[in-house]
Structure 1
Amino acid sequence: MNKRIAVSAALAAILALSAVGCGNTEGSAAPVSNEYSFKEANTETAPDFNSAAADFSAELFKSICSEDIKAGRNAFASPESVMLALGLAANGAGGDTLAQFEQVMGKGMKLEDINAGLAGLITKARTEKNVEFDIANSIWVKNSDQITLKKSYAELCKERFDADSFLEPFDDGTVEKLNSWVKDKTKGMIDRIKDRFEADEVAVLMNAVAFDGKWSVPFDENKVTGTVFHSADGKEQECKMMHITEHTYISDENAVGFVKPYEGGRYAFMALLPNENTSLADYVQTLTGEKLLSLYNSRQEQQVITALPKFSFDWGGSIAESLKSMGLDKAFAPTADFTNMADTSTGQLYIGDVVHKTHIEVNSEGTKAAAVTEIELKCGGAMDLDEVKTVTLDRPFLFSIIDTETGLPVFMGAVSSIEK
């Protein structure tokens, strides 16, 4: 069966906690698994949360993708994936470390309100009937006397994030179990995330998001044409251009675009083409949370003759420095406070690195996407509505997969080249 898995598999968080020399605690206790239940939340997320999440999305995308876009390379990220991953970490934080999570993720909102918003995203995904949108979380703890996961943390992560807990020896067998979990939760889009455990790793927190949707109105393959895409470096690249008339037009002073819904209409593909005199890199730098929401909220219902190239690419790299620059520096310092997560016999936990990897594929039937976020924790010290618009994406453009109820991006990307 040739089912278009537009998997937005956002496998969001590996938080690898490590430990290095400190005082002793009592021996480790097996984390509680399946004793608690996920508490469904209101799917209508609060305006303050939506505003904060939009700001986080814009700042994250600019911070981690701008360098590639300036260099004429493609870029793709999942702000929702990263935010969910950081949510797991934030619930283990305390003191000034927690305050920074609250500021970066929620513009000063309290953690309980951020949790409610994130739980709302999970609940919304699970109640969506027209596309498959699955979110999974898990906590993997090393079976040793190096760490004791706090029962209160395991309970909260289960109730808010539906995170299952596992006690494992962190050997080759655990590596295979973890990779099997990844492959299963991402519909096979990501089949491996880890080759081995480092000697000082004591826990791994994982989040996976899988989005499987088809276009509400698919492109007609008979109308797919061979044409030229003008890449950011000035080269002409052969591409397969898909054509269809849509009915939602978006614009601002420097770009035009359109919205193409997936089945059911709750999620949609939003594309933005900067004006000829505006580079994609320059346009991305103007993005703010308010602008992202405004672009969708000020949409106009009118005919748009669209042309969208088939494309696919992978992206990835460390985003640690970007998160620090966004104000999350205390979590990366040896003095970080993650005492609400666990007790260790070998030191104070802090984030060592955050790696984000993604995949995107767009064709006539739908969208296929995947994202992985790995967080390693260590220890140690207005338009004419009657006018028909035309948007031909034959040069670098910005796109996102959005929640049409809030305008929030699940994924954001930039196409500078059609070639992989």
Structure 2
Amino acid sequence: MDLQTLGSSNAAFGVDLYQKLSSENPGENLFFSPISLLFALAITLLGAKEKTEAQIKSVLNLEHIPNGQLHQGFADLMNHFQTPNGKWELNIANKLYGEQTAKFLSEFVEDSKKFYGAGLEPVDFVGSSDKVTSLINEWVERQTKNKIKHLIPRNVLNALTRLVVVNAIYYKGAWKNQFRKGNTKVGSFMTASKTLSDVPFMYLNRLSTGYFYSDDLNSQVLELPYEGNSQSFVVILPDLQKTSLEVVEQRLSKEVFTTIEESLFRETVNVWLPKFKIEKESNVKESLKRMGITDLFSMKAADLSGMNGEKDLYVSHLLHKAFISVDEEGSEAAAATAVVITLKSAPIFRQPVDFKADHPFVFYIKDNKSGSILFLGKVSKL
């Protein structure tokens, strides 16, 4: 299976979840990692059966891919992301923490390791759940270079916890065309509530880069590649004279990302981009339930018998945190997900286009080869 097939599914899932999270938190900043959630849920999918399996595959837009190809496809995607490159850093890690007295099917354990590199570490949830909480959180901190802390709060894990599936992702990339710090000036950013705030704007003069105006979205779209051209930072900036961020969000779809990919052309652009940091904890469990994954979180209906041969497990918590920092040098982003399983063209000279991101916008970081959306979010206020 080619990487673009999974990339397309990842983009569709990311947009669907974005719209759910955004509608639940209007006017707030949003940031999460579709790919982190996808890996954690794909590992969980190894143990899901019957209706539980069908619901997960449907919401993740994977129902058209046979299981035999699906998990090998994720393994290939992992290998693609982990390919060493001195120009950027991208690390994805998966791990299983299992109750030491519990019995897990060898096929589930072996496939988790084979396809996802997720080794099983026996731990004592029954007698030392607080200690295990610290152990998992410390692993996440190491994998994300201390950007994601306290992923699992106290009292989430207990004597009934049988398995925790954890994914961590870390990315750091330098702009291909870096902003000069001396050009950064304070300017006004109009928030979603129409108030003005003073924020530092980075500036690039006459940058030749990927750009187009989307008539469907009534928005400017700007691509800022990272060094090495393997990943890009893309901004969708609504034209406030014609539309709003809310309307643009409603029109987002997998096809929009494809159109952006196909429509970008090299243009000379004056770029103003705010420096910003976002740290966000998202209630993805409730959003996924509204999207159609219901049995997985139900003590009555969940079927995770592919993990231990019994129907006595369900997902009690799905935790997700994400972080991003954007400055003159580039971007640093990280995210972590924990699934807690419990016992039941050529340049043409033109006048430069002005691209001034001084009002709310959507942004994402994409992998250019697979089309996978690594991180997705919006800036509503600064």
Q: TM-score, normalised by structure 2?
A: 0.90
How far the C-alpha of 1:213 sits from its partner, in A, is: 1.5
Q: Secondary structure at the match of 1:54?
A: helix
Equivalence for 1:330: 295
Equivalence for 1:212: 172
Q: TM-score, normalised by structure 1?
A: 0.83
Equivalence for 1:30: none
Q: How many residues align?
A: 367
Correspondences of 1:197-208 after superposition (within 5 Å): 197-208=157-168
> Which stretch has the larger CA shift, 79-88 or 371-380?
371-380
Equivalence for 1:315: 280
- Which among 166, 169, 185 is matched to residue 143 of structure 2? 185
The structure carrying a bigger helix percent of its residues is 2
CA contact (8 A) 2:7 2:373 kept: no
CA–CA distance in 2 between the matches of 1:290 and 1:306? 26
CA–CA distance in 2 between the matches of 1:270 and 1:280? 15
How far the C-alpha of 1:228 sits from its partner, in A, is: 0.8
Q: Secondary structure at the match of 2:173?
A: strand
Equivalence for 2:271: 306
CA–CA distance in 2 between the matches of 1:176 and 1:320? 22
Equivalence for 1:143: 100
How far the C-alpha of 1:287 sits from its partner, in A, is: 0.7
Amino acid at match of 2:146: G
> Which stretch has the larger CA shift, 353-362 or 266-275?
353-362
CA–CA distance in 2 between the matches of 1:326 and 1:222? 46
> Which stretch has the larger CA shift, 317-326 or 236-245?
317-326
Equivalence for 1:121: 77
How far the C-alpha of 1:226 sits from its partner, in A, is: 1.3
How far the C-alpha of 1:73 sits from its partner, in A, is: 1.1
CA–CA distance in 2 between the matches of 1:185 and 1:269? 22
Correspondences of 1:9-408 after superposition (within 5 Å): 44-45=2-3, 47-68=4-25, 70=26, 72-105=27-60, 106-129=62-85, 130-144=87-101, 147-170=102-125, 171=128, 172-194=130-152, 195-196=154-155, 197-244=157-204, 245-253=207-215, 254-276=218-240, 277-333=242-298, 334-343=300-309, 348-380=312-344, 386-387=349-350, 388-408=352-372
Amino acid at match of 1:133: L
Amino acid at match of 1:292: F
RMSD: 2.0
CA–CA distance in 1 between the matches of 2:9 and 2:304? 23
How far the C-alpha of 1:386 sits from its partner, in A, is: 4.3
CA contact (8 A) 2:15 2:253 kept: yes
How far the C-alpha of 1:95 sits from its partner, in A, is: 1.4
CA–CA distance in 2 between the matches of 1:331 and 1:385? 53
Amino acid at match of 2:74: L
Cα-to-partner distance string for 1:83-111 (whole Å, 9 max, x where unaligned): 11110110111112112222222143222
CA–CA distance in 1 between the matches of 2:182 and 2:29? 28
Q: Which runs of 5+ in 2 are unaligned?
A: none
Cα-to-partner distance string for 1:259-308 (whole Å, 9 max, x where unaligned): 11111110010011011132212211111111112212221112121110
CA–CA distance in 2 between the matches of 1:390 and 1:330? 49
